[in-house]
Structure 1
Amino acid sequence: MPTPTRPSPSAKSSTKKSSAKKPVLFGLVVVLAAGLLGFVSYRATAPDGPGPGTPAAVTSTGPDSDVHRELAGLARRDADDKLALGRTAAPVVLIEYADFQCGYCGKFARDTEPELIKRYVDDGTLRIEWRNFPIFGEASEAAARASWAAGRQDRFWAFHRAAYAEDAKEKGFGRDRLRALAQQAGVKDLDRFTRDTDSAAAVEAVRVDREQAYGIGATSTPSFLINGRPVAGAQPMAVFTQAIEAAAAEEANVGNAGEPAK
């Protein structure tokens, strides 16, 4: 089971610096989100699973809706994002915070994500944005940087599939193994891949993703935001289906009526 981690001092200081560029409300958003995502994350990964009446996804209305809208703003919707799938203008964005050494992340990648892509990404409803959230030490850091490097050659998702294949993590993520995964993923220039993996740019990209995860209160992997609403853990397909379709319906209602339904 994923072990919760605490934000590093650098993560806290970076979040503090970046908050100066956000609306004043952002500070409240971070505090509330930490409670929402932290609680949901704990309940979803507790030994006995979610308690009676505890939803896997938070779908509240009222004041929390403002929090969700602010969190939805974390979606980058960048056409040049190599670690994303789907239209930049898709009505629903799923942000995934994950670690390549996380068994539950692998379960989601193998069992659920391909079906989400088939059902919702391919028809333009959903965009998936990956965030590297390495919390299990040096090997996780190395795999995160390697995935970013594979993305520089448009092979992130192929690398993602290779790294999350059944029993892949048991083989480790040493230097030679990462290079073999890159080759398996179809990365053409392996020397460039190695340079990119070791680069300061890779370190920075991973740092930014991880600090965003800490900033919203994520404490375990995988953690998700679906249009700003948190979902924690490798939940059943039905949980994601419900959350995505509810978010799509809400967006359609906003587009038709100019404001969400009460």
Structure 2
Amino acid sequence: MPLAFSTRRDFLLMAAACALFAATPAYAEKSPAGKVSVEELMAPDALPDVVEGSANAPVTIVEYASMTCSHCAAFHRDVYPELKKNYIDTGKVKFILREFPLDPLATAAFMLARQLGDKRDAAVDLLFSQQKNWAFADKPLDGLANVLKQTGIGQEKFEAVLKDQALYDNVNKVRNRAAEKLGVNSTPTFFINGDKYTGEMTVADLDQIIASKSAAK
């Protein structure tokens, strides 16, 4: 049965509302907070990048994260798997996670993950997924050691890594360069083809941004 309007005024109000709804975009693209040159962003740093995805991907995402950052953990738990499946594994995105520890515990976690070589990112994902079991535990270092036993890091190696002054310094050099040269002051911070985005990043945000960057190539 057709919808009936009691008055012409009701009809006009409904028509105006429909027009307003149609003119409203379904999703507003997340706006960048700034921009840096790709050359500066990709310049050699104190630690080599661990790169995921094709070197020839049209879109490069660099994330600066802290291992004790709950928003970073949420991204890696809820968003990163979709990013990997839809874009990294299909050759559309090159992804790099860089260290930006906000406290000594985060520095320790990054140092230990670095010792796993090409398994670093898997260790990072593990630590983010179990963040509450170590970062917010009564004895966080004990919790960190227990989680990392799953990667094969025993207590002796755990303690040795945490005494590695050169590695400690290099992790902090990565953070300091990001702060001084790229303007990073919070986590997570993302650079997507040089455009800077801060704070929460959703799957929908990434879909929109990656589509825009890919079309611009």
Q: TM-score range by the shorter chain?
A: 0.7 to 0.9
SS of equivalent to 1:94? strand
Letter in 1 for 2:31: A
Cα displacement (A) at 1:134? 0.9
Report the CA distance shift for 1:127/1:224 in structure 2 as closer, same or farther (over 3 A): same
Cα displacement (A) at 1:205? 2.7
Q: Distance in 2 between matches of 1:192 and 1:113?
A: 29
Residue of 54, 59, 69 corresponding to 1:102: 69
Answer yes or no: is 1:232 the counterpart of 2:194: no
Aligned to 1:122: 89
Residue of 111, 125, 135 corresponding to 1:145: 111
Q: Distance in 2 between matches of 1:249 and 1:106?
A: 30
Aligned to 1:58: 32
Cα displacement (A) at 1:212? 2.7
SS of equivalent to 1:164? helix
Alpha-carbon RMSD across the aligned residues, in angstroms, is 2.9
Letter in 2 for 1:232: T
Cα displacement (A) at 1:200? 2.9
Aligned to 1:157: 121
Cα displacement (A) at 1:190? 6.4
Aligned to 1:203: 168
Aligned to 1:187: 152
> Quick check: 2:101–2:172 contact (8 Å CA) kept in 1?
no
Cα displacement (A) at 1:245? 1.9
Which entry has the higher C-alpha Rg, 1 or 2?
A: 2
Q: Distance in 2 between matches of 1:157 and 1:213?
A: 19
Q: Distance in 2 between matches of 1:92 and 1:148?
A: 25
Residue of 27, 33, 52 corresponding to 1:85: 52
Which runs of 4 or more aligned residues in structure 1 lie more than 6 Å from their structure 2 counterparts after TM superposition?
none
SS of equivalent to 2:63? strand
Q: Which runs of 5+ in 2 are unaligned?
A: 1-27
Aligned to 1:213: 178
Deviation string for 1:5-46 (max 9, x for gaps)?
A: xxxxxxxxxxxxxxxxxxxxxxxxxxxxxxxxxxxxxxxxxx
Q: Distance in 2 between matches of 1:172 and 1:142?
A: 16
Output the TM-score relative to the length of structure 1.
0.62
Deviation string for 1:168-216 (max 9, x for gaps)?
A: 33237744333322222x2367644543343133213312320232021
> Quick check: 1:146–1:197 contact (8 Å CA) kept in 2?
yes
> Quick check: 2:29–2:208 contact (8 Å CA) kept in 1?
no
Output the TM-score relative to the length of structure 2.
0.73
